[in-house]
Amino acid sequence: MRGHPSYTCHRVDRLPDRVDDGGKYGPIVVNGDLDKQVWRQAERTQRFAQMSGEVSLFNTEAAMLWDDDNVYIAFWLEEPDVRCTGQDRDGILWQENTVEVSIAGAGAYYNLSVNPRNKTSELFFIWKDAYTRGSRYDVAEFDLAIQRPMVFGGDAQPHDERGMRWGFLDWRFPGLHTAVQIDGTLNERTKVDRGWTVELALPWEGLQRLADGATPARSGDTWRLALARNEVIDQCGTRNTATWNWQPTGAPGGVPYVMHKPDRFPRVTFQ
């Protein structure tokens, strides 16, 4: 299995190979077009792999950048048949082609899914031992009586050594901006496509719910952040979902909840 990955997330105006464009990149316009000069200069992750560490069927790579307003994430996805199943998420499970982003803080973690239609699904989890009176989570948007979150780690998976957590399925990330572009034709099963790209902007305003330090980040700060891709595969009359990860799972047997082990997320250092 591959070693545990890490990534240096460069500030937009500090890209090491930045070409002369008048001294500074302007704000990134999030529209799904990853042919922008700023993304051509960004360092990409290694190719995503299967849970076993073996090479995935189609290539997937990602890159990250940041500025005073947002953390930006880009995905490049090879796909000869870009499609959506149209199924809604059932709890934490979603039989859909998606990219996945999970960001961890000391007391909570956040999961975002985006499909080729640019439909998003969001989950916000707070560990029970972090949900104390007077804490940052003792606020109306996380009020247990009003929001009625699901409880995970009791009878419901995923389980974790840390114990139980509250799962807020209707929480929405403030100011989140997502965009998708398709190199091909969505849901045309008889046509061969080239793939799709995803571009995200996560404002620091929303990341304050997770940050254990300053927002915006300071140079040298390290966060835990995981990236993955779900691929629905129809074969011999059956439908299965493969999960391809930037990070190894660290779990034998292909545990299907790799995005819910925040202590195993890769380290991303802001520079």
pLDDT band at 50 (very low <50, low <70, confident <90, very high): confident
pLDDT band at 4 (very low <50, low <70, confident <90, very high): low
Q: What is the percentage of the chain residues whose pLDDT exceeds 90?
A: 72
- Asked whether the beta carbons of 221 and 56 are under 8 A apart, the reply is no
pLDDT band at 13 (very low <50, low <70, confident <90, very high): confident
- Asked whether the beta carbons of 70 and 179 are under 8 A apart, the reply is no
Q: Is the pLDDT of residue 5 over 70?
A: yes
Query: Which class does domain 6-265 fall in?
Result: mainly beta
Residue that has been written with the tokens 């799972």 in this structure: 249
Summarised one tens digit per residue, pLDDT across range 207-253 is 999 998 899 999 999 999 999 999 999 888 788 889 999 876 555 44
40 SS3 class: helix
Question: Residue 129 CB: number of other CB atoms within 10 A?
Answer: 11
pLDDT attached to residue 21: 44
> Mean pLDDT across the chain, nearest whole number?
89
Q: How far apart are CA 77 and CA 63, in angstroms?
A: 12
Q: Using alpha carbons, list the distances in angstroms from residue 220 to 8, 223, 227, 257, 267.
A: 9, 10, 21, 30, 12
Question: Regarding beta strands 267-270 and 120-127, do their DSSP bridges make them parallel or antiparallel, or are they unpaired?
Answer: unpaired
Stretch among 6-10, 11-15, 19-23, 172-176 having the lowest mean pLDDT: 19-23
Indicate the domain borders of the chain. 6-265
pLDDT attached to residue 209: 95
pLDDT attached to residue 248: 63
pLDDT band at 20 (very low <50, low <70, confident <90, very high): very low
Q: How far apart are CA 118 and CA 114, in angstroms?
A: 6
Stretch among 47-61, 100-114, 205-219 having the lowest mean pLDDT: 47-61
Summarised one tens digit per residue, pLDDT across range 126-176 is 999 999 999 999 999 999 999 999 999 877 778 888 999 999 999 999 999
